[in-house]
């Protein structure tokens, strides 16, 4: 089954304790991206990757790191989480970049709800 | 210029009624307008998309209407059903037509509306 898998789905942590949210896709997609979703603010892009070893900042990259060492995986790293990073996080992938018409259709994971105390 | 303004923030519609969600943009370079649907506890999924060469696109009960001169587009859900209850996101971007290497320009990303929570009452 074609899917984007995120882990963990739920996490409660404390300020400053490094954490990683993993994302893996099995569709051989070139493009991967991380979003955070907050009430009233919609989806805001954190980082994206157009290909292996190619990553770029989105709209809200502060406090986050990513890496793309393999095509299928795109982990999101919070080196020193803070309460303002409490949010619902989504990983997404697409065959090509998201502006490529139908080939840019984004496939989202089911989300990771993170709470930072 | 990069914003997409979506309204209303929330919407309650009776079963069988028409749900209408509106989006407006300013950047005239935008020429690809998808709508994503998100059910509770799930990630968004592409519902329907339109390019400005047509004024309307219909897929089942879902219709996108596009007004290029007003820089507005809207989603209409006909005969709304409780199963349509979800959050709907509009988005916009310039569609990058690839003539050379695919990854030359990575600056084109979707600009998202803030979302509309739609509730269909039985």
pLDDT tens by residue, B6-41: 999 999 999 999 999 999 999 888 888 999 999 999
- Choose among B41, B42, B96: nearest Cβ to A100: B96
Task: Say if residue B94 is preceded by a cis peptide, omega within 30 of 0.
Answer: no
Q: Reply yes or no on whether the pLDDT at B1 is more than 90.
A: no
User: B96 falls in which pLDDT band (50, 70, 90)?
Assistant: low
Residue range A81-96, pLDDT digits in tens: 999 999 999 999 998 7
Between the CA atoms of B108, B113, B114 and B115, what dihedral angle is there, to the nearest 10 degrees? -120
Residue A96 touches chain B, beta carbons under 8 Å: yes
Closest Cα in chain A to B114:
A42
Residue range B36-78, pLDDT digits in tens: 999 999 999 999 999 888 899 999 999 999 999 999 999 999 9
More confident residue, B104 or A8: A8
CA–CA distance, A106 with B34 (Å, rounded to integer): 10
- Choose among B89, B106, B110: nearest Cβ to A56: B106
Say which residues have a Cβ less than 8 Å from residue B35's Cβ, sequence separation at least 6: B46, B47, B48, B49, B62, B64, B75, B88, B89, B90, B91
Closest Cα in chain B to A47:
B109
Residues in B whose CB is inside 8 Å of some CB of A read: 6, 9, 32, 34, 36, 41-46, 49, 51, 89, 93-96, 98, 102-103, 106, 108-110, 112-115
CA–CA distance, A74 with B66 (Å, rounded to integer): 35
- Choose among B44, B94, B109: nearest Cβ to A45: B109
Closest Cα in chain A to B47:
A105
Contact B114 A42 (CB under 8 A): yes
Task: Spell out which residues of chain A touch residue B34, defining contact as CB-CB under 8 Å.
Answer: 105
More confident residue, B110 or B64: B64
More confident residue, B56 or B96: B56
Q: Reply yes or no on whether the pLDDT at B104 is more than 90.
A: no
């Amino acid at each position: 089954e074609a899917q984007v898998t995120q882990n963990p789905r739920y996490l409660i942590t404390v300020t400053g304790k490094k954490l990683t949210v993993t994302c893996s896709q099995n569709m051989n997609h070139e493009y991967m991206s991380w979003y955070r979703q907050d009430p009233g603010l919609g989806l805001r892009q954190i980082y994206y990757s157009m290909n292996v070893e190619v990553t770029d900042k989105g709209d809200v990259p502060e406090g986050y790191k990513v890496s793309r060492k393999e095509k299928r995986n795109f982990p999101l790293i919070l080196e020193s989480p803070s309460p303002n990073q409490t949010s619902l996080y989504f990983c997404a992938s697409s065959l090509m970049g998201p502006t490529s018409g139908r080939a840019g259709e984004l496939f989202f994971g089911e989300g990771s709800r993170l709470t930072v105390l | 210029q990069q914003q997409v303004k979506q309204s209303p923030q929330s919407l309650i519609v009776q079963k069988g009624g028409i749900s209408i969600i509106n989006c407006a943009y300013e950047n005239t370079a935008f020429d690809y307008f998808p709508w994503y649907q998100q059910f509770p506890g799930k990630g968004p999924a592409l519902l329907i998309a339109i390019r400005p060469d047509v004024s309307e696109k219909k897929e089942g009960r879902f219709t996108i209407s596009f007004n290029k001169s007003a820089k507005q587009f809207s989603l209409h859900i006909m005969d709304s059903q409780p199963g349509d209850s979800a959050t709907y996101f509009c988005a916009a971007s310039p569609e990058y037509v690839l003539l050379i290497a695919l990854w030359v320009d990575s600056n084109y990303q979707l600009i998202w509306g803030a979302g509309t929570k739609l509730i269909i009452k039985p």
